[in-house]
Structure 1
Amino acid sequence: MRTSIKAIQAFEAAARLGSFALAADELAVTPSAISHQVRLLEDQLGLPLFHRVHRSVILTDVGREYAAEVMAAFARIDAATRTAASAGGSMALTIHSTPSIATQWLMRRLPLYGEAHPEIDLRLQASVNRIDLGQGIVDVDIRYNPGPAPAGAITFPFPDDVVTPMCAPRLAAGPKPIRSVADLAGHTLIHGEINIFGWRDWSRRNRRARLDLDRGPRFDRSFMAIRAAADGLGVCLDSMLLAEQELRSGQLVVVLPETAMSVRGHGFTTLRAKSAMPKVADFRAWLFSELRQTERWWQDERAATGVP
């Protein structure tokens, strides 16, 4: 079935704005022209897309589902148009990331990438929401515990992460110094609720610990748990990658390094069709180079603190 683009455009605007009059203003036509195009589309489909109640219009159930698909298609067309328009000048690279790695590790490195690649306009989005790379709006998705790559995409795992207990120096060496697993019982535990490896897992591996795992502040973002630990609120169990800045600056220290664990952490996901594009391939090469530098710092830090 072939349908009129003008009719679909009129329907999309009316569905998005909830009004034939507002759709007419946006498309610079009359409300009757919008009504005519929508009626033409309904006739072609053989079903109503709107309930017409007095002067207002409400999508039918079928109309709501159709509108969602049409709006997504228009968003992809808009993204493709912006990409094509940028081809002659600067290129946009849109990165989506989980908030903690964006805040704790990635953002302070992006200026270095920007200096080395002035032709790239970097755009960083941070949220815990999963991104549909197929929409073409985002080029790269950096996720924690990414799992299998979606259809049509490929994931490049980051080097294994190191998860270890950390706290402010004044707690580690204060009136209740932390020299053994048992010493943790005298301290507040800070819980990161979305971490792969949490205090309950740590406690099972270190049975000498008698810890109250039901107490202590809980955060659903690692950057908040790390900040709380640096402020002296307690002992966090989190990623050395995410806490790199606080560890380097001395705001945090590793305690009980012999209990540290290596775990799978983040991954770099992009569409297979985009993975060889220069802007994506170059960014991945730079990102993993930065990760290797962090890994070398880890090795030195682990050697200094006795982390196995």
Structure 2
Amino acid sequence: MYLSIIIPTYNRFAQLSLCLRSLASQLIVHSDIEVIIVDDHSDIQIAKDIKALCHQLNFSYISHSKNSGCAQARNTGTIRSKGKWIAFLDDDVQVNENWLNNILLITPQLPKNIIAIEGLVKGSGDGLWDREVQNLQGNSFLSCNYIIRRSALILAGGFDPNFSGPFCEDHELTVRLQKIGEIQFERFISVTHLPRKIQFLNHIRKAPWRMRTLLISEFYFYSKHPNDYYRFRNYSTFKETYKSIFFRHTLNCLRRRGFWRLIRKPHQALILIFTSAIEQICSWIFLPEYLKLINSNKNLPSSKRKLK
């Protein structure tokens, strides 16, 4: 097997369906490729729909017995995969024209020191969240379009499953991969990030979880790689990152979108103001806990095993 394509998913049937159908249209003439969907314990009906779609498209379907996070889901797919190269996609992207052909054209020509490819990621839609996840120039290392030599991924230990949410796990893996070899940016291996549908009450309800998971992930990333952290963030320490979130999170969220985009999307702007304010307040509430961690200079406890 030359290429394994691994896609973790959780409760996103509509987006995943678009992703898989865009992929299936490029697989028609290729046989040495497998597609593995890892369902991270979606709701029962959604899981049934995903499984049926995978059966229809002749893709492999794996289901977790409990929600374990996207890092663990990618490791599960890696363990079951057979490809010499492993391509990671997210369930809310569509592969662009010739995505697969370009992988099959470029990877055989790469020197052995090139162990991974970060592909171009382009946002779509005009919502306030729709351009937040992009990789247009390289050095973003996003796991939604990441192609890695299997041997290098195994040697690096895979994704660290202690990252339970979608924060920092791709950058942390990148640090370990770059100790093994080089990562090349390829704009012709491109995907489009689908527009995000934001529900007001649900987004507000999840704000404390988002902030707590983000801070835990940032601290864990920094504690593992304090000498490399600055290469992926605007700040050189977790303490500086926390300080920025503590004082300027809401302002930064608004500033990134720009005044005229906020004016054009008043409903989304209202959601953004509410949720970012709640997230910033949560960072104040969590401060005593993180001051202890920062002052003790200890890693968060490692509770899960890496890929072997």
TM over 0.5: no
Larger Rg: 1
User: Which TM-score bucket, shorter chain as reference?
Assistant: under 0.3
TM-score by length of 2: 0.24
Report the TM-score when normalising by structure 1: 0.24
